[in-house]
Amino acid sequence: MAKRYYDLTVAGCKRSLPILNLSHSLAIAGFVMLGDVELCESCARELAKKVPAEAEIIMTAETKGIPLAAELARQIGMPYYITARKSVKAYMEDPIWVEDESITTMGKQRLYLMRSDIDRIAGRKVLLLDDVISTGGSMTALSNLAEKAGAHVIGQAAVLAEGDAAKRTDIIFLEALPLFEAE
């Protein structure tokens, strides 16, 4: 059980986030949207106001971005969104992949797209979406994967920008989230 918490208000929703050590010096506030319908709906509603009008499809990475992508796509009238998977499934024909490194995932992982998703985004204007942008590693991997599939990335969006990411002017986000010293 966490000993410290960070109180966050985003899109009108108040949440108390546990502060979790990632290393001996770095801690983060654990922001998890999975299962939080009110938070997903509210954040998607606010992000919808900021989505570039030319966006044709949303692309996210498995897992935490999925409910947000589904709700944002629904709210802006997109009939489909793309999910980059973290492993190859039996139904995934001719997958392509890139490597991903994130501060919340131990070690490197891969992100995969199957042929039907590649065909769906090739030549289209794609908005990349995640719950949190921190170091930008996951967004870089998503961008590389989208471009490998022939898509044109027109923006990167998240609910929160963590640490130095909040200083970036090239991303869309709703609130800043600080980093913490580990205890």
Domains, the chain, with CATH or none:
37-176 (3.40.50.2020)
Task: Give the model's pLDDT for residue 146.
Answer: 98
Residue with tokens 């796509």: 73
Q: What DSSP line would sit under 111-124, residue for residue?
A: EEE-HHHHHHHTTS
pLDDT in tens, the chain (183 residues): 678 999 999 999 999 999 999 899 999 999 999 999 999 999 999 999 999 999 999 999 998 999 999 999 999 999 999 999 999 999 999 999 998 776 555 668 899 999 999 999 999 999 999 999 998 999 999 999 999 999 999 999 999 999 999 999 999 999 999 999 999
Task: Give the model's pLDDT for residue 95.
Answer: 96
Specify whether the backbone of 49 is left (phi greater than 0), alpha (psi in -120 to 50) or beta.
alpha
Backbone angles phi, psi at 79, to 5 degrees: -80, -10
Please enumerate in sequence order all residues whose Cβ is within 8 A of that of 65, keeping only pairs 6 or more positions apart, or say none: 83, 129, 130, 131
Task: Give the model's pLDDT for residue 100.
Answer: 78
Residue 158's closest CA among 57, 77, 38, 46? 46
Residue 70: burial class (beta carbons within 10 Å; 0-12, 13-18, 19+): middle
Between CA 93 and CA 84, with CA 147 as vertex, the angle to 5 degrees is: 45
Strand 5-10 relative to strand 13-21, pairing = antiparallel
Per-residue pLDDT tens for 129-164?
999 999 899 999 999 999 999 999 999 999 999 999
Task: Give the model's pLDDT for residue 103.
Answer: 57
For 119-122, the CB contacts below 8 A with 24+ separation are 120/57, 120/80, 120/82, 121/57, 121/59, 121/82, 121/146, 121/149, 121/150, 121/151, 122/149, 122/150, 122/151
Residue 82's closest CA among 131, 135, 157, 145? 145
Task: Give the model's pLDDT for residue 105.
Answer: 57
